[in-house]
Structure 1
């Protein structure tokens, strides 16, 4: 029997996670049955369970994929100054509404699922750390702060960015008549402080 390459296995896992993500968006984590996910993935039950032994493993992988897209967006967002960078990050989220909704679903479930809470907390911490690192250096170079002052400023800025990010996810998904452009103006104003 021929061996399957790791690249093939990784691609199959990504396909399964994408199919599960579509089911979770439609039915939530609780309402998306494994039967629905298997049908959406177009695989046999055995093939799916070979990659993900339980639904909880699949929920975690799907949540991790959505959370990782935020980390990538945080790295890739354009703009050297904080206001341009925040707007770039929010624009990337706006261009990917499925990820935005999966974030909201994940954070909602994290309230009662310790595994998801740990995963979401770890990822939010990584976003915070990347913001602090990126703009700690910026505060030294552009604001002329010493290392200590820059660290304090970057820590407060990172907390504000997490609030802006979480606020965007919640409001863009739930608030009737959400005004994307007005929210970007708010983010710019906050980041420019």
Structure 2
């Protein structure tokens, strides 16, 4: 019998997670059963449970996949020259996250589950820390382009990044629960924030 490679296992895990995400998009986390995910994937129950012990385990994989992809986006952005404006970076980030998840509501559900599932909370915290580090790298480089020296640029970036994460979370939350939320106007308003060096951050 051919040996199963780690690449094959990883690809199968991604395939199952993608099927789970489609179910979550349609029925939400609470409304999705493992039976739904098994049917959506077209795999046997044994194949699913070989890779994931339960639905919460699958939720974790979905979060990892989506946020790791956004980490790659931020790393690519930080390497650009010249760097795009911060408002554009936030726009790219939040629209990519919600597009890949199939809507803002799923991410709100992830936060709700993380509030009561310590393992998922630890996973989300680690990924947000990773994203924060990449945002800090971007903002440090952007402030350098605006004329700040290296130390001042890094300090300013570290102070600003938690606010940027909050702005991104605010977009997701409002888009998920407010029927009249104007997403384009919210994102356009980011351009009114004075991010430039030598001026108040907000």
Alpha-carbon distance in structure 2 between the residues aligned to 1:71 and 1:121 = 14
Alpha-carbon distance in structure 1 between the residues aligned to 2:107 and 2:74 = 15
Give the alignment partner of residue 146 of structure 2, picking from 121, 130, 143.
143
**TM-score, normalized by length of structure 1?**
0.85
Match of residue 115 from structure 1: 119
Cα deviation, residue 94, structure 1: 5.4
Indicate the larger mover: 99-108 or 130-139: 99-108
The number of aligned residues is 192
Match of residue 84 from structure 1: 88
Written as runs of structure 1 = structure 2, the 5 A alignment for 1:1-193 is: 1-77=1-77, 79-93=83-97, 95-96=99-100, 98=102, 100-139=104-143, 141-190=144-193, 192=195, 193=201
Cα deviation, residue 36, structure 1: 1.4
Alpha-carbon distance in structure 2 between the residues aligned to 1:47 and 1:90 = 33
Structure 2 spans left out of the alignment, 5+ residues:
196-200
More helix by share: 1
**TM-score, normalized by length of structure 2?**
0.82
2:179 match: secondary structure: coil
* Distance change (3 Å), C-alpha of 1:97 and 1:46: closer
Over the aligned positions, Cα root-mean-square deviation in angstroms equals 2.3
* Distance change (3 Å), C-alpha of 1:66 and 1:93: closer
Structure 1 spans left out of the alignment, 5+ residues:
none
CA deviation string 1:26-80 (max 9, x = no partner): 3333332211111111111111111213333222112222322332333345743
Equivalent pair of 1:16/1:48 in contact (CA under 8 Å): yes
